[in-house]
Amino acid sequence: MAKSSADDEELRRACEAAIEGTKQKIVMSIRVAKSRGIWGKSGRLGRNMAKPRVLALSVKSKGQETEAFLPVLKYSSGGVLEPAKLYKLKHLSKVEVVTNDPSGCTFTLGFDNLRSQSVAPPQWTMRNIDDRNRLLLCILNICKDVLGCLPKVVGVDIVEMALWAKENTPSVTTQRNLQDGPVATTVPESGMKVTVEKELVSQVEEEDIEALLGTYVMGIGEAEAFSERLKRQLHALEAANVHAILESEPLVDEVLQGLEAATSCVDDMDDWLGMFNVKLRHMREDIESIESRNNKLEMQSVNNKSLIEELDKLLERLRVPSEYAACLTGGSFDEARMLQNVEACEWLTGALRGLQVPNLDPSYAKMRAVKDKRAELEKLKATFVRRASEFLRNYFASLVDFMIGDKSYFSQRGQLKRPDHADLRYKCRTYARLLQHLKSLDKSCLGPLRKAYCSSLNLLLRREAREFANELRASTKASRNPTVWLEASTGGSQSGNSADTSAVSDAYAKMLTIFIPLLVDESSFFAHFMCFEVPALAPPGGVANGSKSGSYDDDTNDDDLGIMDIDDNDSKAGKTSADLQSLNESLQDLLDGIQEDFYAVVDWAYKIDPLRCISMHGITERYLSGQKADAAGFVRLLLGALESKISMQFSRFVDEACHQIERNERNVRQMGVLSYIPRFATLATRMEQYIQGQSRDLVDQAYTKFVSVMFATLEKLAQTDPKYADIFLLENYAAFQNSLYDLANVVPPLAKFYHQASEAYEQACTRHISMIIYYQFERLFQFARKIEDLMFTISAEEIPFQLGLSKMDLRKMLKSSLSGVDKSITAMYKKLQKNLTSEVLLPSLWDKCKKEFLDKYDSFAQLVAKIYPTETIPSVSEMRDLLASM
């Protein structure tokens, strides 16, 4: 085995030199490798690499006390040991061998005075297990002898260390005298090796134990002699027991005589007890019979008492109070008597429910008395429901007849009257709880009642709407606007100075403002009053009508009837759906026919100004978007029908206007700008002023139809005279662009048509200008076209040798076409000016004509330079200067 660094005297002397001046004496020194344990995140690589260190054990005398230290020394850059750290062994709390190291040579030392316990302590790695054991045993020995306590040892067995120490200490033990006592050290033959051997007992204790054991003489030196001795003692004990038994025979006889006498007495006692047992059994049987009869009597008494109580309760349940019976069969339904009627209904409902199986024991339900009483209650229910239904039908009719007979409830000449149903609803709410109880008693009776209510109130609503609409039309003053906007024979001033017809759309908005909240409130009140099981409804008057918000009339809680559902268990999803369908059918009966008065207002507004359909459509759409409640289902249908009616009327106006445009086809030959072009701009301006809300789509569809018909008619008219078709088209498309320029910047659909007209204008300009250029310079450009056609089949060098394309032909053509070119250009300008009816377009058209001519001449000059390189023609710049000077 290699020599341990613990035996290195030079290392010891180097350590003593490193701590010189500290008055410490080196006990042991050994080389180790230091590394840092990783508890948390991985550190840097340099911090985790093993570093060479020297661990030393030193002591220092301080008076009567001795302190132990663990200096850590490191090598400087010059290879000299210098102190790195100093630990006090009195703070050593734990010695732990690292389990991650399979060699077992790595351990950690835990000190209880470290400032940061979260930092992993350094790990010390030895060369082998022997070096580790030497150091650890030396540390434990010093801690025990100097400090009087041992640290906690983890990861190593103390017994194994003690055995190792015993095996590795063949040398003589010497005593080193320290201040506080002897320290046992062993000096092996190989050198100064410091180990620790733990003494279990002292010499004095061992001598005391031997003396104590010597006081007991057991004579067990030989096993056979000891066995014989035990046999002899056993025989002696058995003989003594037999002798004792033989000496006690007289005593045994006396005991036997006593036992015989006691047996005789016990037999007599057994006979007596048998007799008493028989008598007691008979007595017990008699007592049990008496108790059984008594228990049956008591049970019968209790049962009879309970039966009487149950029968009393059943009789009380079956009894019909006289006051309720009188109220149900012949009582009055006046307002003063409604409280008694409601109480009687509540009692009747409870009595009927009490006689049903869930609330009544099934055995009682089969009793004849219960069946008879149930039949009697059913008769009472049928009588009361019939009387109440007849009263309510007559009551609804009388209320409405009274209101219809009083003209002050309706609009009159010179006075628009807002319908007021507050008093009607107040009187109806008196019987709201009665209707609730009628529903719980017989749900089928509500159908005729609902029809009667709807029939009566429908007469009132239609009368109010008719009178209001008539007076609204009579009181609205507005001049009629022309319905003919785009006809050719109409004067331009007629469509340009249209009268203000805003009063018409205001009248329509007023009609909706008054009656739509009224109809919504009536629908919601009807749903509550007539006990429909529908989802929660929108609050009355909550219509999306701009500034008009809140309830229709002064009673903001008209629809809150102040009652609760009597049968809460009936509100199921299936019943809700069925009730919703029934509600919509009843609302149809309630409000049917009132739409005719709205249609009359729409027709009246259309006759005054058809364009007012746009604003009326927006107003209707705004109201329609606010109707979300289920009770307002028919109101939504009414508004939808109004919207369709308005859209149909506006479509009628659009169709008539389109027919007016198409009539231009049958007129005489058209020249210049058609009349409907500027009139359409005026019409579009007016339509944009009338747009409200969601009527944008309506107007955009009208634009699409108008412009499609206008452009189609324009193209058809142009084909009647092909000679002047392009002039006719470009003038009309230009007029369309000029008249719609401002609107096209703000209205996207018109911008699309503006660009469409612009493209058609450019195409017409191109065709017309090309025709004028070819008319004046036909030979020049026909010559160029022939050259271009031949270039697809033969090479450029062969073209001058073709018939009609020689250089001589080129010179003749140039002489005839370009001699007096200024006159030809002047003629071209005059021809362009001759057929135009709008002088405004001439400058732009002439600029386009010059540009087109220069482009064509430039192409011709390039062909000549390529095919006839020796021939000279006027350059493009000369032509440009000539055109600019004219």
pLDDT of amino acid 71: 92
pLDDT of amino acid 114: 72
Q: Please tell me the distance from the alpha carbon of residue 149 to that of residue 637, in angstroms, as a whole number.
A: 100
Question: What's the distance, CA 286 to chain centroid?
Answer: 83
pTM over 0.85: no
Q: What is the largest CA-CA distance in the chain?
A: 190
| DSSP labels, 69-85 | EEEEEEE-TTS-EEEEE
pLDDT of amino acid 655: 85
Q: Please tell me the distance from the alpha carbon of residue 35 to that of residue 46, in angstroms, as a whole number.
A: 10
* Two tokens, residue 715: 């193209």
Q: Please tell me the distance from the alpha carbon of residue 439 to that of residue 617, in angstroms, as a whole number.
A: 42
Please check whether the domain covering 5-37+49-168 is classified as CATH 2.30.29.90: yes
> How does 315-335 read in b/e, with b if 16+ C-beta sit within 10 Å?
eebbeeeeebbebbeebebee
The terminus-to-terminus CA distance of the chain in angstroms comes to 123
How is the chain split into domains, by residue range?
A: 5-37+49-168, 325-406, 442-478+503-536+579-648, 760-885
Q: Give average pLDDT by consecutive 10-residue segment, the chain, 886 residues.
A: 70 88 88 73 52 91 85 87 89 89 89 72 89 89 86 84 79 41 39 41 67 56 76 82 76 84 90 90 91 90 81 64 70 70 73 64 66 74 80 84 71 70 82 78 80 86 84 77 52 49 82 86 83 59 41 44 42 60 78 84 85 84 70 76 87 85 63 76 81 76 83 80 76 81 78 83 81 76 76 77 76 74 75 73 78 79 78 77 72
Residues 6+ apart with CB under 8 A from 320: 351, 376, 377, 380
* Two tokens, residue 832: 């362009």
Are the beta carbons of 361 and 387 closer than 8 angstroms? no
